[in-house]
């Protein structure tokens, strides 16, 4: 994808603050971080989203995230950590190259990454389950 900014960053054509790299992935600091240390796991090959990325590449991305998360806990002293992965503009994806957000969390960091719960009835939940399983 010649016009994809994350392809260019992942493959080193555009400089970034890289905190991890191997043959298949680059992990960079997000330019608009939610918190100190917010990073993005970028596959070097272009996949738009979760629907396109092969399962084994996704598994490798998870391994990279786990390694980086441990480093963040050790080096940044974060109190918690969110893994976030958006797919489609309806879900908040703005860069259409698969990426996994690693967001270190700190007590009272003022961020709001969790969702607002809704209250479906038990019948509605069963209907949703049946739609998924049907």
Reduced 3-state DSSP string for the chain: CCCCHHHHHHCCCCCCCEEEECCCEEEEECCCCCCCCCEEEEECCCCCCCCCCCHHHHHHHHHHHHHHHHHHHHHHCCCEEEEECCCCHHHCCCCCCCCEEEEEECCCCCCCCCCCCCCCCHHHHHHHHHHHHC
Bridge partner residues of 25 (DSSP): 43
Q: Per-residue string for binding with Zn ion, 30-69, x by CB under 5 A?
A: ----------------x-----------------------
Report if residue 111 touches ligand AMP, rule: CB under 6 A: no
Closest CB to ligand AMP among 54 and 88?
Answer: 88
Stretch that binds ligand AMP, among 24-32, 54-62, 64-72, 123-131 (CB under 6 A): 24-32
Report if residue 7 touches Zn ion, rule: CB under 5 A: yes
Stretch that binds ligand AMP, among 56-64, 91-99, 104-112, 121-129 (CB under 6 A): 91-99
Closest CB to ligand AMP among 28 and 102?
Answer: 28
User: Which residues are near Zn ion by CB under 5 A?
Assistant: 1, 4, 6-7, 46, 97
């Amino acid at each position: 994808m010649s016009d994809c900014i994350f392809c260019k960053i992942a493959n080193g054509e555009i400089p970034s603050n890289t905190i991890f790299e191997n043959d298949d992935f680059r992990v960079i600091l997000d330019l608009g971080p939610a918190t100190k240390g917010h990073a993005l796991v970028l596959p070097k090959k272009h996949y738009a989203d979760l629907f396109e990325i092969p399962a084994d590449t996704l598994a490798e991305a998870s391994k990279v995230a786990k390694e980086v998360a441990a480093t963040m806990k050790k080096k940044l002293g974060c109190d918690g950590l969110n893994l976030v992965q958006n797919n489609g503009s309806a879900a908040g994806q703005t860069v259409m190259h698969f990426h996994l957000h690693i967001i270190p969390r700190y007590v009272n960091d003022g961020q709001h990454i969790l969702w607002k719960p809704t209250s479906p009835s038990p019948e509605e939940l069963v209907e949703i389950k049946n739609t998924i399983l049907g």
